[in-house]
Amino acid sequence: MRRHTVAPRAGWRARVEQVGLTYHTLDDGSPYWDESAYWEFSAAEIDRLEAATAEIQRLALAAGDVILQRDWLERMHIPLAAAERIRETWQSEPPALYGRLDLAYDGRQIKLLEYNADTPTCLVEAAVAQWYWLEDLFPEADQFNSLHEMLVAKWKDLAPYVSQPVYFGHDGGEEDAMTITYLRDTAQQAGLRTEALAMRQIGWEQAANQFVDLKRQPIRTIFMLYPWEWLLRDDFGAHALATMDSLSAKPIAGKVQWIEPIWKMLWSNKALLAILWELNPNHELLLPAYLDGPRNLRNYVRKPLFGREGAGVAVFLNWAEEGGTVRENPLDASAAPGKCVYQGLASMAQADGKTAVIGSWLIDGEPAGMGIRESDGLVTTNTSRFVPHLFR
């Protein structure tokens, strides 16, 4: 595992814009998509990362069963109103699409940092932009990247189980919009009819007891890049629960299929990290993690259970010793006291003053590819740069 510097392609901005990466530059003018460097891996290292991804997915599936068997939803601060629908969808297995594990890998150890199971982004970068970068500069090399093909194949598999058109909704910025646009494209390549719709444009027709689009047509299947914990807090969150297609894997008249399904709340919640450690103590792919405090951890990270993009994350170094330091990002509304997980600090890949985190993607629960984000510090935030990779 090595970091190399390389000259960016001539006209790189136009090149990445052509494949949908329009948010390539940060507000301060510095690149978000950074092809002045890349990470090189061996084939054996890629095999290890792929195997680790599959093993963590196995652990998460087992943890989901235990969480529901032992009634741990309250422990995870999941709203009681969602409990029945989570249980039903966990059993009925309605359509689900993708997720991303964030992994620490220093060339020796692989450790799970968190599971982005509900609304993961960085997809256009990982699936498309870095593949074209590879073909332009290193066509003789390879890349851990089957994302596009696996997404199209998964939509084909889902075709008998969804209603058409499949709606695609978000309420975010440009990155979310382009992620939705790309996912729509993969669904269309699979032969599905699709429609784009902002979450705020979804209507509720009281007389018919149904969600409708701007043309007052009923919504039956929708992929949303919008966290479930947000949706449940919205004015129409109760209607989403009441009209949810939760008992069948196929469409039911008058019901709505939500992709991702609501059971993803079990994995997008960072309490999962503590539960995984409790169920699998000292597992080689896990970091010690607790919900009741740092216990005996000296170097650790405190994360809000529902935080995103590094918001509210604090890093504690040598905390048990005099002179210990804390590096903290501003808290967001989800980082309330008692709603945090305390996780041991991982050994990270570092080179040229950068710290790298590997985003390992899963499509339909299967390892599908990876992307790398680099930060100047220890916490990955919304300004951390995306850097391509290859292996030989």
The residue type found at 224 is: M
Predicted confidence band at 308 (pLDDT cuts at 50, 70, 90)?
Answer: confident
pLDDT by residue (tens digit) across 339-365?
A: 899 999 999 999 999 999 999 999 999
- The set of residues, in sequence order, having a beta carbon less than 8 Å from that of 290 and lying 6+ positions away, is 274, 277, 297, 341, 342
Across the strands, what pairs with 102?
114, 359
DSSP 360-387: EEEETTEEEEEEEEEESSSS--TTPEEE
* pTM reported for the whole predicted model: 0.95
Q: Are 392 and 40 in contact (CB under 8 A)?
A: yes
The CA distance from 116 to 99, in Å, is: 6
Model confidence pLDDT, tens digit, residues 196-254: 999 999 999 999 999 999 999 999 999 999 999 999 999 999 999 999 999 988 888 88
Averaged pLDDT, 295-316: 86
- What confidence score (pLDDT) does residue 310 get? 72
Going by pLDDT thresholds of 50, 70 and 90, the confidence category of residue 379 is confident
Can you tell me the distance from the alpha carbon of 69 to that of 285, in angstroms, rounded to the nearest whole number? 24
C-alpha 188/C-alpha 164 separation (Å) is: 11
Dist. CA 33–CA 10, nearest whole Å: 14
Q: Is 368 left (phi over 0), alpha (psi -120 to 50) or beta?
A: alpha
Q: What is the DSSP letter of 232?
A: H
Q: How confident is the model at residue 321 (pLDDT cuts 50, 70, 90)?
A: low
pLDDT at 114 > cutoff 50: yes
In 3-state terms, what secondary structure has residue 166? strand
Q: Which residues contact 169 (CB under 8 A, 6 or more apart)?
A: 180, 196, 197, 198, 199, 201, 202, 222, 223, 224, 225, 226
Using 50, 70 and 90 to split pLDDT, how confident is the model at 103? very high
Read off the DSSP letter of residue 291.
S
Distance CA 383, CA 9 (A): 22
User: Would you say 60 and 70 are in contact if contact means Cβ atoms under 8 Å apart?
Assistant: no
Q: Name the residue type at position 66.
A: V
Check residue 333 and give its pLDDT: 47
Q: What is the DSSP letter of 110?
A: E
